[in-house]
Amino acid sequence: MKALVTGAAGFIGASLSGALLKRGYNVIGIDNLNDYYDVSLKEGRLKLLQCMPNFQFKKLDISNCTEMEELFSVGLFDTVVHLAAQAGVRYSIENPKTYIESNLVGFGNILEGCRQGKTSHLIYASSSSVYGANTTLPFVETDNVDHPISLYAATKRANELMAYAYCHLYGLATTGLRFFTVYGPWGRPDMALFKFTRNILSGEPIPVYNRGQMVRDFTYIDDVVEGVIRVIDKPPKVTAASEGIVTITPWRIYNIGNSRRVQLMDYISTLERELGKKAQVQFLPMQDGDVPATEADIGKLEADFGYRPRVEVEEGIARFVAWYRAYYRNNI
């Protein structure tokens, strides 16, 4: 099986690529290696992948139409896992144009590449951010998601609708995955766990928004990768009428979360115990574009694929701290 993974140097992309390689896939990974966060972290992830057989990396930008046309013209992919995107709710307020180029234009290029290349299955990253200011927990895939409160969320919802159109018109089988606060070793430096760990160890204050009244569904990276792989193994079926018109649109959306509410202050307390050091907490008001609570209903993913997360927050934080200490001890 030949898989294209976009964003292969990213947090989820690198972990997924490694898992696919271990399962015998030929993986072509692409990434533009932008400087949204420390590029050396991305290069470190790639270094691990490049030690494995059947991995090929190309530095490409999904928003570059010419590069994407060339990529799909020279290689046919059984599966495309599209994880490349400009991430971050808060950054989208400061740099909206970047999100339009990467998350909208870039996704359009991927859809068109899959159509022209007759890809069997496109899996793409959506986000829990699409649920916006919904207050009823847990979030269910059938909830209304037409009122995003950040541009990042709007681009992810737009991706879902763009995918639906391609499914309906061209029979392109797609699965969108709404990720809930993914964390773990090799994570992103702009995410809470990474920032909190760095600041606590250096004796700097940690910013805690909404004065600590936050709830999150923290999902460990290995559980996310397991969910993605299960989806890859079972693409939606395409049913067509005799005239060739698609009669059943092969479009699916799933939540991938831990399905457990965790109070942010409890999360910080667990991290303090693991580090053996107290945090200097700086309580701040809610940020624009942020939400006070998230929790995933994963019943649909469990019913269709037998998915159940295995790593509880306490264990996940311990694994992250162990990685963080080792990585920065060896990379200073």
> Distance (Å, rounded) from C-alpha 206 to C-alpha 197?
9
Looking up tokens 């799909």 gives 72
Catalytic residue among 25, 36, 124, 152: 152
Q: Where would I find the beta strands (DSSP E) of 60-120? A: 79-82
Tell me the C-alpha distance between 36 and 57, whole Å.
Answer: 20
Q: Residue 330: which residues within 8 A CB-CB, separation 6 or more? A: none
CA distance 282 to 292: 17
Burial class (CB in 10 A: 0-12, 13-18, 19+), 136: exposed
User: Parallel, antiparallel, or unpaired for β 262-263 and 215-216?
Assistant: antiparallel
CA proximity to 23, closest of 83, 73, 79: 79
Please choose, from the candidates 182, 180, 202, 164, the residue with its C-alpha nearest in 3D space to the C-alpha of residue 257. 180
User: Measuring CA to CA, which residue among 201, 191, 204, 207 is closest to residue 332?
Assistant: 201
* Angle at CA of residue 136, ends 132 and 139, nearest 5°: 65
CA 69 centroid distance within chain:
24
Distance CA(7)–CA(69), nearest Å, equals: 17
What kind and span of H or E run contains 71?
helix 65-74
Active site residue 152: yes
**Phi then psi dihedrals of residue 135, to 5 deg:** -110, -10
* Catalytic residue annotation: 152
